[in-house]
Structure 1
Protein backbone atom coordinates (compact mmCIF):
# COMPACT_ATOMS: atom_id res chain seq x y z
CA UNK A 1 0.00 0.00 0.00
CA UNK A 2 1.36 3.40 -0.99
CA UNK A 3 1.69 5.68 2.04
CA UNK A 4 2.30 9.15 0.67
CA UNK A 5 0.86 11.06 3.63
CA UNK A 6 3.33 13.43 5.29
CA UNK A 7 3.93 12.86 8.99
CA UNK A 8 5.36 15.03 11.76
CA UNK A 9 6.19 13.64 15.21
CA UNK A 10 5.43 16.14 17.99
CA UNK A 11 7.09 15.78 21.38
CA UNK A 12 8.28 17.86 24.31
CA UNK A 13 11.25 17.37 26.63
CA UNK A 14 12.13 19.11 29.88
CA UNK A 15 15.09 19.10 32.23
CA UNK A 16 13.89 16.26 34.50
CA UNK A 17 13.82 13.70 31.68
CA UNK A 18 16.44 10.95 31.84
CA UNK A 19 18.92 11.13 28.94
CA UNK A 20 18.83 7.34 28.52
CA UNK A 21 15.03 7.42 28.09
CA UNK A 22 15.25 10.18 25.48
CA UNK A 23 17.93 8.23 23.65
CA UNK A 24 15.73 5.09 23.51
CA UNK A 25 12.79 7.18 22.34
CA UNK A 26 14.70 8.70 19.42
CA UNK A 27 16.26 5.36 18.56
CA UNK A 28 12.77 3.90 18.16
CA UNK A 29 11.94 6.67 15.69
CA UNK A 30 15.12 5.96 13.77
CA UNK A 31 14.12 2.29 13.43
CA UNK A 32 10.62 2.91 12.03
CA UNK A 33 9.72 0.88 8.94
CA UNK A 34 7.97 4.01 7.66
CA UNK A 35 9.99 6.94 9.03
CA UNK A 36 8.38 10.27 9.85
CA UNK A 37 9.08 13.19 7.54
CA UNK A 38 10.15 15.27 10.52
CA UNK A 39 10.39 15.13 14.29
CA UNK A 40 9.61 18.36 16.12
CA UNK A 41 11.07 18.30 19.63
CA UNK A 42 10.20 21.22 21.88
CA UNK A 43 12.68 22.09 24.61
CA UNK A 44 10.26 23.10 27.37
CA UNK A 45 12.81 25.22 29.21
CA UNK A 46 16.58 24.95 29.47
CA UNK A 47 17.81 21.34 29.42
CA UNK A 48 20.75 19.63 31.07
CA UNK A 49 23.96 19.24 29.10
CA UNK A 50 23.33 15.47 28.95
CA UNK A 51 19.90 15.91 27.35
CA UNK A 52 21.26 18.44 24.86
CA UNK A 53 23.99 15.95 23.98
CA UNK A 54 21.41 13.27 23.17
CA UNK A 55 19.51 15.67 20.92
CA UNK A 56 22.68 16.69 19.10
CA UNK A 57 23.57 13.04 18.55
CA UNK A 58 20.24 12.21 16.93
CA UNK A 59 20.01 15.48 15.04
CA UNK A 60 22.69 14.03 12.76
CA UNK A 61 20.67 10.86 12.10
CA UNK A 62 17.04 11.99 12.08
CA UNK A 63 15.03 14.81 10.48
CA UNK A 64 14.98 16.37 13.94
CA UNK A 65 13.76 19.94 14.30
CA UNK A 66 14.69 21.26 17.75
CA UNK A 67 12.76 24.32 18.93
CA UNK A 68 11.98 25.78 22.34
CA UNK A 69 12.29 28.53 24.92
CA UNK A 70 14.08 29.15 28.23
CA UNK A 71 11.25 28.88 30.78
CA UNK A 72 9.35 25.66 31.53
CA UNK A 73 5.70 26.24 30.59
CA UNK A 74 4.14 22.78 30.68
CA UNK A 75 3.13 20.17 28.14
CA UNK A 76 0.06 21.89 26.67
CA UNK A 77 1.97 25.07 25.86
CA UNK A 78 4.90 23.09 24.47
CA UNK A 79 2.68 21.08 22.13
CA UNK A 80 0.82 24.15 20.87
CA UNK A 81 4.16 25.87 20.33
CA UNK A 82 5.64 22.89 18.53
CA UNK A 83 2.58 22.41 16.34
CA UNK A 84 3.34 25.69 14.59
CA UNK A 85 6.63 24.17 13.40
CA UNK A 86 5.04 20.96 12.05
CA UNK A 87 4.69 20.72 8.28
CA UNK A 88 3.13 17.25 8.03
CA UNK A 89 -0.50 16.50 7.19
CA UNK A 90 -0.61 14.20 10.23
CA UNK A 91 0.75 14.72 13.73
CA UNK A 92 2.04 11.74 15.71
CA UNK A 93 2.29 12.34 19.44
CA UNK A 94 4.97 10.69 21.51
CA UNK A 95 6.43 11.09 25.00
CA UNK A 96 10.20 11.31 25.31
CA UNK A 97 10.47 8.53 27.90
CA UNK A 98 8.61 5.94 25.81
CA UNK A 99 9.22 3.83 22.70
CA UNK A 100 7.26 3.45 19.46
CA UNK A 101 7.35 -0.07 18.04
CA UNK A 102 9.08 -0.16 14.68
CA UNK A 103 5.91 -0.56 12.59
CA UNK A 104 3.84 2.04 14.46
CA UNK A 105 3.69 4.68 11.74
CA UNK A 106 3.34 2.13 8.95
CA UNK A 107 0.33 0.47 10.61
CA UNK A 108 -1.34 3.73 11.58
CA UNK A 109 -0.94 5.31 8.15
CA UNK A 110 -2.20 2.13 6.47
CA UNK A 111 -5.37 2.41 8.54
CA UNK A 112 -5.77 6.10 7.70
CA UNK A 113 -5.48 5.38 3.96
CA UNK A 114 -7.92 2.45 4.18
CA UNK A 115 -10.42 4.38 6.32
CA UNK A 116 -10.96 7.86 4.87
CA UNK A 117 -12.56 10.24 7.32
CA UNK A 118 -10.52 9.05 10.29
CA UNK A 119 -9.21 12.11 12.11
CA UNK A 120 -7.77 10.67 15.34
CA UNK A 121 -6.21 7.21 15.62
CA UNK A 122 -4.53 5.50 18.56
CA UNK A 123 -3.53 1.96 19.45
CA UNK A 124 -3.27 -0.42 22.35
CA UNK A 125 -0.29 0.17 24.65
CA UNK A 126 2.25 -2.22 26.09
CA UNK A 127 2.75 -0.93 29.62
CA UNK A 128 5.98 -1.72 31.41
CA UNK A 129 6.10 -1.09 35.14
CA UNK A 130 9.49 -0.12 36.56
CA UNK A 131 10.95 0.02 40.05
CA UNK A 132 14.60 0.95 40.57
CA UNK A 133 15.10 0.80 36.78
CA UNK A 134 13.92 -2.83 36.71
CA UNK A 135 10.79 -3.90 34.82
CA UNK A 136 8.69 -6.00 37.21
CA UNK A 137 5.34 -6.19 35.39
CA UNK A 138 3.94 -5.92 31.85
CA UNK A 139 0.41 -5.29 30.74
CA UNK A 140 -1.43 -4.60 27.48
CA UNK A 141 -3.88 -1.72 27.74
CA UNK A 142 -6.67 -1.82 25.17
CA UNK A 143 -9.10 0.88 24.08
CA UNK A 144 -12.40 0.65 22.21
CA UNK A 145 -11.87 0.68 18.46
CA UNK A 146 -14.58 3.19 17.55
CA UNK A 147 -15.57 5.90 20.01
CA UNK A 148 -18.14 8.67 19.72
CA UNK A 149 -19.68 10.99 22.30
CA UNK A 150 -22.15 8.31 23.46
CA UNK A 151 -19.51 5.65 24.22
CA UNK A 152 -19.68 4.25 27.74
CA UNK A 153 -15.87 4.10 27.89
CA UNK A 154 -15.79 7.87 28.36
CA UNK A 155 -17.23 7.46 31.84
CA UNK A 156 -14.43 5.09 32.81
CA UNK A 157 -11.50 7.08 31.45
CA UNK A 158 -9.66 8.41 28.46
CA UNK A 159 -10.79 7.12 25.04
CA UNK A 160 -7.26 6.97 23.63
CA UNK A 161 -3.70 6.80 24.87
CA UNK A 162 -2.49 10.34 24.21
CA UNK A 163 1.09 9.44 23.19
CA UNK A 164 -0.21 6.86 20.69
CA UNK A 165 -2.38 9.39 18.90
CA UNK A 166 -2.08 10.18 15.21
CA UNK A 167 -4.09 13.37 14.64
CA UNK A 168 -5.07 15.21 11.50
CA UNK A 169 -3.08 18.45 11.60
CA UNK A 170 -5.93 20.68 10.45
CA UNK A 171 -8.13 19.28 13.22
CA UNK A 172 -5.49 19.81 15.90
CA UNK A 173 -4.79 23.35 14.69
CA UNK A 174 -8.50 24.12 14.97
CA UNK A 175 -8.85 22.86 18.55
CA UNK A 176 -5.36 23.11 20.11
CA UNK A 177 -4.59 22.04 23.69
CA UNK A 178 -6.11 23.99 26.56
CA UNK A 179 -3.39 25.52 28.73
CA UNK A 180 -5.70 26.09 31.72
CA UNK A 181 -6.58 22.52 32.74
CA UNK A 182 -3.33 21.38 34.32
CA UNK A 183 -2.17 17.92 33.29
CA UNK A 184 -5.55 17.10 31.74
CA UNK A 185 -4.94 18.76 28.37
CA UNK A 186 -5.44 15.52 26.46
CA UNK A 187 -8.79 14.38 27.87
CA UNK A 188 -10.14 17.92 27.64
CA UNK A 189 -9.16 18.00 23.96
CA UNK A 190 -10.83 14.64 23.26
CA UNK A 191 -14.08 15.82 24.85
CA UNK A 192 -14.19 18.92 22.64
CA UNK A 193 -13.49 16.89 19.51
CA UNK A 194 -16.13 14.28 20.37
CA UNK A 195 -18.66 16.97 21.28
CA UNK A 196 -18.47 18.28 17.71
CA UNK A 197 -19.31 14.89 16.23
CA UNK A 198 -15.89 13.48 15.40
CA UNK A 199 -14.98 9.90 16.25
CA UNK A 200 -11.82 8.49 17.79
CA UNK A 201 -10.47 5.21 16.43
CA UNK A 202 -8.03 2.75 18.02
CA UNK A 203 -6.10 -0.19 16.64
CA UNK A 204 -6.56 -3.34 18.73
CA UNK A 205 -2.87 -4.22 18.98
CA UNK A 206 0.02 -2.42 20.70
CA UNK A 207 2.25 -0.11 18.68
CA UNK A 208 3.66 1.78 21.64
CA UNK A 209 5.58 0.91 24.80
CA UNK A 210 4.87 3.13 27.81
CA UNK A 211 7.21 3.30 30.76
CA UNK A 212 5.39 3.49 34.10
CA UNK A 213 7.62 4.28 37.05
CA UNK A 214 6.43 3.67 40.59
CA UNK A 215 6.45 7.42 41.26
CA UNK A 216 3.26 7.57 39.19
CA UNK A 217 1.33 5.84 41.97
CA UNK A 218 1.94 8.53 44.56
CA UNK A 219 -1.21 10.24 45.71
CA UNK A 220 -2.14 13.20 43.54
CA UNK A 221 -2.54 16.62 45.08
CA UNK A 222 -6.15 17.49 45.85
CA UNK A 223 -6.03 20.32 43.31
CA UNK A 224 -4.97 18.03 40.45
CA UNK A 225 -7.39 15.26 41.40
CA UNK A 226 -10.41 17.55 41.64
CA UNK A 227 -9.49 19.35 38.41
CA UNK A 228 -9.51 16.00 36.59
CA UNK A 229 -12.81 15.07 38.25
CA UNK A 230 -14.45 18.35 37.23
CA UNK A 231 -13.35 17.96 33.60
CA UNK A 232 -14.92 14.50 33.38
CA UNK A 233 -18.20 15.37 35.10
CA UNK A 234 -18.67 18.70 33.31
CA UNK A 235 -18.01 17.28 29.85
CA UNK A 236 -19.89 14.01 30.31
CA UNK A 237 -22.93 15.94 31.50
CA UNK A 238 -22.63 18.30 28.51
CA UNK A 239 -22.47 15.33 26.13
CA UNK A 240 -25.16 13.05 27.53
CA UNK A 241 -26.94 14.76 30.43
CA UNK A 242 -27.37 13.11 33.82
CA UNK A 243 -26.49 9.42 34.08
CA UNK A 244 -25.84 7.05 36.92
CA UNK A 245 -22.64 6.21 35.03
CA UNK A 246 -21.22 9.42 36.51
CA UNK A 247 -20.38 7.19 39.46
CA UNK A 248 -17.25 6.17 37.54
CA UNK A 249 -15.51 9.56 37.81
CA UNK A 250 -16.41 9.54 41.51
CA UNK A 251 -14.77 6.14 41.98
CA UNK A 252 -11.71 7.32 40.09
CA UNK A 253 -11.45 10.37 42.35
CA UNK A 254 -11.45 8.10 45.40
CA UNK A 255 -8.68 5.97 43.88
CA UNK A 256 -6.53 9.10 43.41
CA UNK A 257 -6.36 9.46 47.21
CA UNK A 258 -5.63 5.84 48.10
CA UNK A 259 -2.19 4.79 49.41
CA UNK A 260 0.45 4.23 46.75
CA UNK A 261 0.46 0.43 47.09
CA UNK A 262 -3.31 0.21 46.65
CA UNK A 263 -3.21 2.34 43.50
CA UNK A 264 -0.40 0.18 42.11
CA UNK A 265 -2.40 -3.02 42.69
CA UNK A 266 -5.46 -1.52 40.99
CA UNK A 267 -3.41 -0.46 37.96
CA UNK A 268 -2.13 -4.00 37.53
CA UNK A 269 -5.53 -5.66 37.99
CA UNK A 270 -8.71 -6.11 35.95
CA UNK A 271 -10.43 -3.67 38.31
CA UNK A 272 -8.58 -0.87 36.56
CA UNK A 273 -10.46 -1.57 33.32
CA UNK A 274 -13.73 -0.94 35.09
CA UNK A 275 -12.70 2.29 36.82
CA UNK A 276 -9.55 3.75 35.29
CA UNK A 277 -9.43 2.49 31.74
Structure 2
Protein backbone atom coordinates (compact mmCIF):
# COMPACT_ATOMS: atom_id res chain seq x y z
CA UNK A 1 0.00 0.00 0.00
CA UNK A 2 3.03 2.30 -0.05
CA UNK A 3 2.02 4.51 -2.96
CA UNK A 4 -1.70 4.02 -2.50
CA UNK A 5 -1.90 5.42 1.01
CA UNK A 6 1.41 4.74 2.13
CA UNK A 7 3.93 5.87 4.35
CA UNK A 8 4.05 8.33 1.45
CA UNK A 9 1.52 11.11 1.04
CA UNK A 10 1.51 14.79 0.06
CA UNK A 11 0.91 17.70 2.41
CA UNK A 12 -0.98 20.70 1.00
CA UNK A 13 -1.02 24.29 2.28
CA UNK A 14 -1.75 27.74 0.88
CA UNK A 15 -0.39 30.99 2.33
CA UNK A 16 -0.98 34.66 1.52
CA UNK A 17 0.41 38.00 2.68
CA UNK A 18 -1.93 38.54 5.64
CA UNK A 19 -0.94 35.37 7.48
CA UNK A 20 0.59 35.66 10.94
CA UNK A 21 4.30 34.75 10.51
CA UNK A 22 4.61 33.20 13.97
CA UNK A 23 1.59 30.95 13.47
CA UNK A 24 2.72 30.08 9.95
CA UNK A 25 6.07 28.85 11.24
CA UNK A 26 4.39 26.86 14.02
CA UNK A 27 2.01 25.26 11.53
CA UNK A 28 4.87 24.14 9.28
CA UNK A 29 6.90 22.92 12.25
CA UNK A 30 3.99 20.77 13.40
CA UNK A 31 4.06 19.02 10.01
CA UNK A 32 7.76 18.22 10.28
CA UNK A 33 7.14 16.88 13.79
CA UNK A 34 4.54 14.35 12.67
CA UNK A 35 5.27 10.76 13.69
CA UNK A 36 4.41 10.00 10.05
CA UNK A 37 5.42 13.13 8.11
CA UNK A 38 4.62 13.63 4.40
CA UNK A 39 6.99 12.58 1.65
CA UNK A 40 6.14 15.80 -0.19
CA UNK A 41 5.00 19.21 1.00
CA UNK A 42 3.24 21.44 -1.56
CA UNK A 43 3.04 25.10 -0.54
CA UNK A 44 1.16 27.63 -2.66
CA UNK A 45 2.25 31.24 -2.25
CA UNK A 46 -0.97 33.00 -3.20
CA UNK A 47 0.36 36.32 -4.49
CA UNK A 48 3.26 38.37 -3.22
CA UNK A 49 4.22 37.60 0.39
CA UNK A 50 5.80 39.85 3.00
CA UNK A 51 9.55 39.65 3.51
CA UNK A 52 9.00 38.03 6.90
CA UNK A 53 6.82 35.27 5.43
CA UNK A 54 9.27 34.69 2.58
CA UNK A 55 12.10 34.32 5.10
CA UNK A 56 10.09 31.67 6.94
CA UNK A 57 9.39 29.80 3.69
CA UNK A 58 13.10 29.78 2.87
CA UNK A 59 14.09 28.65 6.37
CA UNK A 60 11.41 25.97 6.55
CA UNK A 61 12.24 24.61 3.10
CA UNK A 62 15.71 23.82 4.40
CA UNK A 63 14.25 22.13 7.48
CA UNK A 64 11.81 20.03 5.44
CA UNK A 65 14.48 18.86 3.06
CA UNK A 66 16.85 18.03 5.92
CA UNK A 67 14.07 15.75 7.12
CA UNK A 68 13.88 14.17 3.65
CA UNK A 69 10.56 15.84 2.81
CA UNK A 70 10.48 17.23 -0.72
CA UNK A 71 9.31 20.85 -0.49
CA UNK A 72 7.53 22.11 -3.60
CA UNK A 73 6.62 25.80 -3.90
CA UNK A 74 3.98 27.08 -6.33
CA UNK A 75 3.99 30.86 -6.72
CA UNK A 76 0.91 32.71 -7.95
CA UNK A 77 1.90 36.01 -9.56
CA UNK A 78 -1.22 37.57 -8.08
CA UNK A 79 -3.64 36.54 -5.35
CA UNK A 80 -6.08 34.00 -6.81
CA UNK A 81 -7.92 33.12 -3.63
CA UNK A 82 -7.92 29.92 -1.61
CA UNK A 83 -10.06 27.79 -3.92
CA UNK A 84 -7.98 28.27 -7.07
CA UNK A 85 -4.73 27.99 -5.09
CA UNK A 86 -5.74 24.65 -3.58
CA UNK A 87 -6.89 23.47 -7.00
CA UNK A 88 -3.39 24.06 -8.35
CA UNK A 89 -1.96 22.38 -5.27
CA UNK A 90 -4.02 19.19 -5.61
CA UNK A 91 -2.98 18.95 -9.26
CA UNK A 92 0.68 19.33 -8.23
CA UNK A 93 0.66 16.68 -5.49
CA UNK A 94 2.62 13.58 -6.42
CA UNK A 95 1.04 11.02 -4.12
CA UNK A 96 -2.31 9.27 -4.06
CA UNK A 97 -3.35 10.70 -0.69
CA UNK A 98 -3.23 14.33 0.41
CA UNK A 99 -3.35 15.92 3.86
CA UNK A 100 -4.78 19.44 4.04
CA UNK A 101 -2.93 21.77 6.41
CA UNK A 102 -3.88 25.33 7.34
CA UNK A 103 -1.20 28.01 7.59
CA UNK A 104 -2.20 29.07 11.12
CA UNK A 105 -3.20 25.80 12.80
CA UNK A 106 -1.12 23.26 14.68
CA UNK A 107 -1.41 19.55 13.93
CA UNK A 108 -0.83 17.31 16.94
CA UNK A 109 2.20 15.14 16.27
CA UNK A 110 0.23 11.90 15.82
CA UNK A 111 -2.45 13.40 13.54
CA UNK A 112 -1.23 11.72 10.38
CA UNK A 113 -0.39 8.42 12.06
CA UNK A 114 -3.99 8.26 13.33
CA UNK A 115 -5.34 9.23 9.90
CA UNK A 116 -3.21 6.75 7.97
CA UNK A 117 -4.04 3.92 10.36
CA UNK A 118 -7.75 4.72 10.02
CA UNK A 119 -7.87 4.62 6.21
CA UNK A 120 -5.73 1.49 6.16
CA UNK A 121 -8.25 -0.25 8.43
CA UNK A 122 -11.21 1.28 6.53
CA UNK A 123 -10.21 1.19 2.85
CA UNK A 124 -13.64 2.35 1.63
CA UNK A 125 -13.19 5.72 3.35
CA UNK A 126 -11.83 8.28 0.86
CA UNK A 127 -12.39 11.45 2.89
CA UNK A 128 -11.42 11.63 6.55
CA UNK A 129 -11.40 14.39 9.17
CA UNK A 130 -11.38 14.80 12.94
CA UNK A 131 -12.34 17.04 15.85
CA UNK A 132 -10.43 20.27 16.50
CA UNK A 133 -9.65 22.28 19.61
CA UNK A 134 -10.00 26.03 19.19
CA UNK A 135 -7.23 27.72 21.16
CA UNK A 136 -6.59 31.32 22.09
CA UNK A 137 -3.74 32.76 20.08
CA UNK A 138 -1.72 34.31 22.89
CA UNK A 139 -2.29 31.81 25.71
CA UNK A 140 -2.95 28.51 23.89
CA UNK A 141 -5.93 28.11 26.20
CA UNK A 142 -8.57 25.74 24.81
CA UNK A 143 -11.75 27.74 24.22
CA UNK A 144 -13.88 25.06 22.61
CA UNK A 145 -13.76 21.63 21.00
CA UNK A 146 -15.48 21.51 17.64
CA UNK A 147 -16.95 18.05 17.23
CA UNK A 148 -18.24 16.70 13.92
CA UNK A 149 -20.26 13.56 13.11
CA UNK A 150 -18.08 10.45 12.96
CA UNK A 151 -20.02 8.02 10.78
CA UNK A 152 -20.74 8.12 7.06
CA UNK A 153 -24.53 8.00 7.52
CA UNK A 154 -24.61 10.91 9.96
CA UNK A 155 -22.16 12.94 7.84
CA UNK A 156 -24.41 12.63 4.80
CA UNK A 157 -27.54 13.29 6.85
CA UNK A 158 -26.37 16.74 7.97
CA UNK A 159 -24.18 17.78 5.04
CA UNK A 160 -26.86 19.94 3.41
CA UNK A 161 -27.34 22.03 6.54
CA UNK A 162 -23.82 22.36 7.85
CA UNK A 163 -20.26 21.48 6.99
CA UNK A 164 -19.59 17.97 8.38
CA UNK A 165 -15.80 18.43 8.39
CA UNK A 166 -13.21 20.62 10.02
CA UNK A 167 -11.33 21.45 6.83
CA UNK A 168 -7.91 21.79 8.47
CA UNK A 169 -8.06 18.12 9.52
CA UNK A 170 -8.93 16.40 6.27
CA UNK A 171 -7.01 13.58 4.62
CA UNK A 172 -8.33 12.55 1.22
CA UNK A 173 -7.68 10.44 -1.84
CA UNK A 174 -6.41 12.65 -4.67
CA UNK A 175 -8.27 10.78 -7.42
CA UNK A 176 -11.58 11.16 -5.55
CA UNK A 177 -11.09 14.93 -5.32
CA UNK A 178 -10.18 15.24 -9.01
CA UNK A 179 -13.20 13.20 -10.10
CA UNK A 180 -15.45 15.50 -8.06
CA UNK A 181 -14.09 18.51 -9.95
CA UNK A 182 -11.39 19.61 -7.50
CA UNK A 183 -11.49 22.86 -5.54
CA UNK A 184 -13.37 25.79 -7.08
CA UNK A 185 -13.45 29.54 -6.53
CA UNK A 186 -16.28 29.89 -4.00
CA UNK A 187 -14.90 32.33 -1.38
CA UNK A 188 -15.26 31.16 2.26
CA UNK A 189 -16.90 27.90 1.15
CA UNK A 190 -14.21 26.23 -0.99
CA UNK A 191 -13.92 23.17 1.23
CA UNK A 192 -17.60 22.75 2.03
CA UNK A 193 -18.55 22.95 -1.66
CA UNK A 194 -15.96 20.29 -2.47
CA UNK A 195 -17.23 17.95 0.25
CA UNK A 196 -20.79 18.22 -1.09
CA UNK A 197 -19.61 17.29 -4.57
CA UNK A 198 -17.50 14.41 -3.26
CA UNK A 199 -20.22 12.97 -1.02
CA UNK A 200 -22.88 13.23 -3.72
CA UNK A 201 -20.86 10.64 -5.67
CA UNK A 202 -21.57 7.93 -3.07
CA UNK A 203 -18.11 8.21 -1.55
CA UNK A 204 -17.66 6.97 2.00
CA UNK A 205 -16.41 9.46 4.57
CA UNK A 206 -15.66 9.55 8.30
CA UNK A 207 -14.33 11.65 11.14
CA UNK A 208 -12.02 10.48 13.90
CA UNK A 209 -13.52 11.33 17.29
CA UNK A 210 -10.33 12.88 18.62
CA UNK A 211 -8.76 16.33 18.53
CA UNK A 212 -6.00 16.09 15.93
CA UNK A 213 -5.59 19.80 15.15
CA UNK A 214 -5.41 22.88 17.35
CA UNK A 215 -7.00 25.80 15.49
CA UNK A 216 -5.93 29.28 16.52
CA UNK A 217 -8.72 31.75 17.21
CA UNK A 218 -8.16 35.50 17.58
CA UNK A 219 -10.22 38.68 17.68
CA UNK A 220 -10.76 38.57 13.91
CA UNK A 221 -12.42 35.14 14.00
CA UNK A 222 -15.98 36.44 14.32
CA UNK A 223 -15.31 39.46 12.11
CA UNK A 224 -14.54 37.08 9.24
CA UNK A 225 -17.85 35.26 9.75
CA UNK A 226 -20.14 38.23 10.19
CA UNK A 227 -21.31 41.30 8.33
CA UNK A 228 -23.04 42.06 5.06
CA UNK A 229 -20.14 40.78 2.95
CA UNK A 230 -20.26 37.34 4.51
CA UNK A 231 -24.06 37.32 4.23
CA UNK A 232 -23.72 37.98 0.50
CA UNK A 233 -21.22 35.15 0.10
CA UNK A 234 -23.42 32.82 2.16
CA UNK A 235 -26.41 33.61 -0.07
CA UNK A 236 -24.30 33.03 -3.21
CA UNK A 237 -23.08 29.67 -1.91
CA UNK A 238 -26.55 28.50 -0.89
CA UNK A 239 -27.89 29.54 -4.31
CA UNK A 240 -25.19 27.52 -6.05
CA UNK A 241 -25.81 24.32 -4.12
CA UNK A 242 -29.58 24.70 -4.50
CA UNK A 243 -29.30 25.17 -8.28
CA UNK A 244 -27.00 22.15 -8.49
CA UNK A 245 -29.53 20.13 -6.44
CA UNK A 246 -27.35 19.38 -3.46
CA UNK A 247 -30.11 20.79 -1.26
CA UNK A 248 -33.88 21.13 -1.62
CA UNK A 249 -35.75 24.44 -1.64
CA UNK A 250 -36.96 24.03 1.97
CA UNK A 251 -33.37 23.40 3.07
CA UNK A 252 -32.24 26.44 1.03
CA UNK A 253 -34.76 28.63 2.89
CA UNK A 254 -33.81 27.07 6.23
CA UNK A 255 -30.10 27.70 5.58
CA UNK A 256 -30.65 31.31 4.57
CA UNK A 257 -32.67 31.95 7.72
CA UNK A 258 -30.42 30.07 10.15
CA UNK A 259 -26.97 30.35 8.56
CA UNK A 260 -27.36 33.51 6.53
CA UNK A 261 -29.21 35.92 8.78
CA UNK A 262 -26.97 35.26 11.78
CA UNK A 263 -24.14 36.88 9.79
CA UNK A 264 -25.58 40.30 10.62
CA UNK A 265 -25.92 39.58 14.35
CA UNK A 266 -23.71 41.53 16.79
CA UNK A 267 -20.42 39.74 17.49
CA UNK A 268 -21.43 38.84 21.06
CA UNK A 269 -24.63 37.18 19.83
CA UNK A 270 -22.83 35.52 16.92
CA UNK A 271 -20.43 33.88 19.37
CA UNK A 272 -23.28 32.07 21.14
CA UNK A 273 -25.02 31.18 17.88
CA UNK A 274 -21.86 29.43 16.69
CA UNK A 275 -21.73 27.38 19.88
CA UNK A 276 -25.34 26.25 19.37
CA UNK A 277 -24.88 25.44 15.67
CA UNK A 278 -21.81 23.32 16.37
CA UNK A 279 -23.44 21.11 18.98
Q: Judge same fold: TM > 0.5, yes or no.
A: yes
Summarize the alignment of residues 102-181 of structure 1 with structure 2, pairs less than 5 Å apart: 102-130=109-137, 133-135=138-140, 137-148=142-153, 151-174=156-179, 175-179=181-185, 181=186
Question: For residues 265 and 60 of structure 1, do their structure 2 counterparts lie closer, same or farther at Cα, with a shift above 3 Å needed?
Answer: same
User: Would the alpha carbon gap of residues 37 and 248 (structure 1) be closer, same or farther in structure 2, given more than 3 Å must change?
Assistant: same
Give the length in aligned residue pairs: 269
Deviation at 1:51, TM superposition (A): 0.7
- Superposed CA RMSD in Å reads 2.5
* Normalised TM-score (structure 1): 0.88
Bigger Cα displacement from structure 2, 39-48 vs 232-241: 232-241
Q: Tell me: CA distance 1:254–1:29, structure 2 relative to 1, closer, same or farther (3 Å).
A: same
CA 77–60 in structure 1, closer or farther in 2 if over 3 Å, else same = same
State the SS of the aligned residue for 2:163: coil
Q: 1:101 aligns with which of 99, 104, 108?
A: 108
Contact 2:155 2:205 in 1 (8 A): no
Mapped contact 1:177–1:189 kept (Cα < 8 A): yes
TM-score of the aligned structures, taking structure 2 as reference length: 0.87
1:235-268 deviation line (CA, Å, top 9, x unaligned): 368246455695254212121110112112333x
- CA distance in 1 between counterparts of 2:39 and 2:190 reads 26
Distance 1:221 1:233, change over 3 A: same
Moved more, 221-230 or 41-50: 221-230
Kept in 2, the 8 Å contact 1:233–1:249? The answer is no
User: Which of 39, 45, 48 does residue 46 from structure 1 map onto?
Assistant: 48
From the superposition, tell whether residues 57 and 162 of structure 1 become closer, same or farther in structure 2 (CA, over 3 Å): same
Deviations 1:55-90 (A, max 9, x none): 111111212222212211100111111222211111
Matched ranges for 1:1-277 at <5 A: 4-62=6-64, 63=69, 64-130=71-137, 133-135=138-140, 137-148=142-153, 151-174=156-179, 175-179=181-185, 181-218=186-223, 220-232=226-238, 235=241, 238-239=245-246, 241-243=248-250, 247-267=254-274, 269=275, 271-273=276-278
Contact 1:149 1:195 in 2 (8 A): no
Residues 1-40 of structure 1: per-residue CA shift (max 9 Å, x gap): 9973421011001111111111101110111101111111
Task: State the SS of the aligned residue for 1:209.
Answer: strand
The 1-side partners of 2:253 and 2:57 are apart by 44
For structure 2, the residue ranges without an aligned partner over 5 or more in a row are: none
The secondary structure found in structure 2 opposite 1:88 is coil
SS in 2 for 1:87: coil
